[in-house]
Amino acid sequence: MSRKPNPTRRRFLKSTAAASTVFAAPTIVSAAALGRGGTVAPSERILLGGIGIRNRGSKVLGAMLEQPDVRFVAIADVRADRRKAVKEMADRANGDSQCATYRDMQELLDRSDIDAVLIATGDRWHAPASIRAVQAGKDVYCEKPCAMTIELAQKLADAVNRHGRVFQAGTQRRTCAHFVHAVRLAQSGRLGKLQTVHASIYELVDRQDWLPAEPQPPRDEIDWDTWLGPAPWRPYNRAYVDGRWRGYHDFDSGARLLDWGAHTLDLCQWANQADETTPVEFEPLDVEGDNVIVGRYANGVKVVLRKGGWLGLGTCPVRFEGDEGWVETGDSGRMAVSSAALRAKLPPPVDAGTIPKNHVRDFFNCVKSRRPTAANVNVARKTHVACHAAAIAWILGRKITFDPVQEMFVGDDEANRMRSRAMREPYGV
């Protein structure tokens, strides 16, 4: 079989390098598509739908609504109040009242006029909704973490590649200038030979309890069964729906490690030019007041996931250390480096790491050009697999060895069984 679903390494490096400059890339809007006054003709617009949009989703949607060649036409949400709020947001941007609302995401996905979807549900729905979307022929921008398990990360990548769809993981730091600069310092050898990459993570938690049962609201107000979706059954409690699902084993990804790890370990993978692989071992360390997991790549580079000990450069910090220098940066846009020579060439702080405007533009450009996005599904797969492997090591409380090709733990049946979870009926994909 001559199929080559993944780019060759050379093309891959070129494409990620190209993607890294996307923050400077213009909107791809055909001149022929521009009508009078520079507006985009309706036939040339990307029609966008949204699934499960709340806090973070609204920020991403806000950036999407600013794009001249995008029109948001439909929202699907299990909550009536969210359907109403997002419709109002879209209608204001569109200057009409035509944004459609759906409780059932499948009705939205079945619309043949919609080109792409923004998926910003909780973690439990990210991969299943994305897979449904690509099966319905949509391109997908999916908030992170994109997959609750190693197996789902694999299935998601397989589905996107099989259907030839464009996929962007919501790891927008790949298109933020200061993170890109830090990565380039590591990749270019200006730090010397890369020794250690550091990724920040939240305090890890793997809650197994259930909140007390509360009376279930009418389905049209909050569709609890669909909110749960593929997650295991449990009784309704409003707190989950209002965002307090984080930290629960059944709803969160890898004991919360992926909440930041999907960003920060992703940047470490990139800095180590390891987008096509993962570390080969992880070991949780007992460090008072912190969660520290130390890993190692096959090329000898060490990776340290930790909560504390950062320089105060904002949330989601990363640090790359070579044998001749180091760089650290975070969401503030500020950077710290080890020498005056490196300091002299730092870019000025531009955007915070949380701003997705470059990332959404990259997505829409790729929807048109069919090029891989900066955080395409093959990149996201390896990052998510690496994060889950680290989280499983922490949950088990022991050192694990990992095979990056097979994406399996070596000689550890318990760990291997934790690579997947059953999906509640009838929500399997």
In the complex with another protein, the residue whose CB is nearer, 61 or 393, is 393
Helices (H), 95-143: 105-109, 123-135
Paired tokens of 126: 């990210």
Span interacting with another protein, options 207-215, 238-246, 309-317, 337-345, rule CB under 8 A? 207-215
Report d(CA 318, CA 297) in Å as an integer: 17
In the complex with another protein, the residue whose CB is nearer, 140 or 318, is 140
Instruction: State in angstroms the smallest separation of the CB of 334 from another protein.
Output: 31
Q: Does 30 bind another protein (CB under 8 A)?
A: yes
In the complex with another protein, the residue whose CB is nearer, 10 or 36, is 10
Distances (CA, A) of 7 to 21, 157, 164, 169, 180: 19, 13, 13, 18, 21
In the complex with another protein, the residue whose CB is nearer, 288 or 425, is 425
In the complex with another protein, the residue whose CB is nearer, 85 or 396, is 396
- Choose which of 158, 290, 324, 351 interacts with another protein (CB under 8 A): 158
Q: Does 8 bind another protein (CB under 8 A)?
A: yes
Instruction: State in angstroms the smallest separation of the CB of 248 from another protein.
Output: 9
Report d(CA 414, CA 418) in Å as an integer: 7
Instruction: State in angstroms the smallest separation of the CB of 84 from another protein.
Output: 29
Distances (CA, A) of 414 to 208, 243, 393, 408: 18, 31, 11, 11
Span interacting with another protein, options 186-194, 236-244, 271-279, 420-428, rule CB under 8 A? 420-428
- Choose which of 146, 204, 222, 313 interacts with another protein (CB under 8 A): 204
Number of H helices, E strands in the chain: 14, 15
Span interacting with another protein, options 62-70, 381-389, 399-407, 414-422, rule CB under 8 A? 414-422
Evaluate whether 322 touches 186 at the Cβ level (below 8 Å): yes
Q: How many residues bind another protein (CB under 8 A)?
A: 59
Q: Does 42 bind another protein (CB under 8 A)?
A: no
Report d(CA 174, CA 183) in Å as an integer: 9
Report d(CA 102, CA 75) in Å as an integer: 6
In the complex with another protein, the residue whose CB is nearer, 84 or 162, is 162
Contacts of 126 (CB under 8 A, 6+ apart): 119, 142, 143, 144, 145, 146, 147, 148
Contacts of 37 (CB under 8 A, 6+ apart): none
Segment 247 to 276, residues that bind another protein, using CB under 8 A: 249, 255
Q: Does 210 bind another protein (CB under 8 A)?
A: yes
Q: Which residues make beta-bridge pairs with 295? A: 282, 303
Residues of this chain that bind another protein (CB under 8 A):
1-5, 7-8, 11, 14-15, 18, 30-33, 112, 135-138, 158, 162-164, 204-210, 232-234, 249, 255, 284, 368-372, 394-397, 413-414, 417-418, 420-426, 428-429
